[in-house]
Each structure stands twice: as C-alpha cells, then as structure tokens.
Amino acid sequence: MASGLVESTLDPSRAARSEVVLAGEPWLARIERGQLLRIVDLEGNQAVDTLFFSAADPRERYSAVDTIRAAGALYLSAGSRLLSTEGSLLLTIVADTCGRHDTIGGACSSESNTVRYGQKTRPMHSCRDSFLAAAARSKIPLSKRDLTANINFFMNVPVTPEGGLTFADGISAGGKYVELRAETEVLCLISNCPQLNNPCNAYNPTPIRVLVWNGL
C-alpha cells in the first residue's frame, strides 16, 4: 500500500544523469535494475505523462489495472508497486513529496483535445504526439498500439461519487518530486505535457528535471 510523503536521502550532485525536459518535450531512457529515477516538478502542478516497459520485451508494460487492483487504491504515492501486464514488479515508488499521482486520467491527444476543448484545439501538440515522436527517434520498437494507460505524475484527477473524472487544481508545487527504484530493466517514456487548455497547470506547462542514480 502507498504510505504517503517520504523524502529521499539521495544527493542530486551525485546523480549519474540529470536533465531538464522542457514542456511539450519527450524523454526516453533505459533504467537498469537497481537504478533510481527521480522526476522533479520544477515550478509546480506540471503533468508528467509516463509509461514504463520491460526493456527485455516492450510488449510487457506498466498495467494500470493490475497496479490499482494489487494496491486497492486509485492513486500512487510512496510505497506504490508498479506492476506489468504479466503481473511482474517493474518499479517501486521509494520517495514522494507530492503524495498523489493519477493513474486513470490518460494522456491528451488531438482527439481528446477536440472533445474536451473544441475543434480549434485539434492541431495542438499532445502527449500522444510526444510519445510517438520519442519512439520514432529511437531504435526501440514502440508504436501507437503500445500507448496504453499511463501515469500522470503530479496530476490531480478526483473521481466523483458517480464514477466520473474531474481535472482539478494540482496539489504539487515547485521542487516536489517522485522517486522510483527499478526492480528490473525498464524503458521509461515521458511526455512532459504541453497541455494549454487545462486549468490544473494554470494554462502554463513548465519544465521538469529527470535524475538517475546508479544502484546503491
């Protein structure tokens, strides 16, 4: 079960990798077993759409359904175990200073933008575009069919009593982070959301920082 807020003891200056990802940009990397991945919300309330795949076989991927069922909870936080479509443990959230991450709201696309915000938004860039752009630039065989239910780190998507979804103001802030330990070799695919139409980020998408530490 998730255990709420937990701070990390890792020193950012000792990270093996540290990169800023601008709003609207993707990030794709292999995370080795035992490595630790930290995603930092630099300015607050930025949605970080994220997918994880088994590096050995990308057909095995993060499963929102299995993760939610095993945890008995809709939202992720420290202690959450991210399961794959084969029931394997991919990653564990070991530190979290935000405390709530959405795993049911999905990623924005030209189609969903049109439905939610009107036909004029159809040409606007989306997270699905970013996912596909990153896959196309890499040698990793990922395609549109691999873009299944993702995690929205730092995003607040409450569920109504009737079972509907509401996109509410975020509860994150500048400098909040989530940190995950890879329990096997995984591919991490991030879209730092470019969404300009959702008030949860004050209509202002912002950069994030991604850090990776070698296993301790």
- The alpha carbon dihedral of 110, 171, 46, 206 has a sign of positive
pLDDT averaged over consecutive 10-residue blocks of the chain (216 residues)?
Answer: 80 97 94 98 94 95 96 93 97 96 80 62 73 85 86 83 68 95 97 76 86 90
- The alpha carbon dihedral of 54, 184, 152, 201 has a sign of negative
Strands 208-213 and 176-182: unpaired
- Are 124 and 113 within 8 A, CB to CB? yes
pLDDT at 1: 46
pLDDT at 66: 97
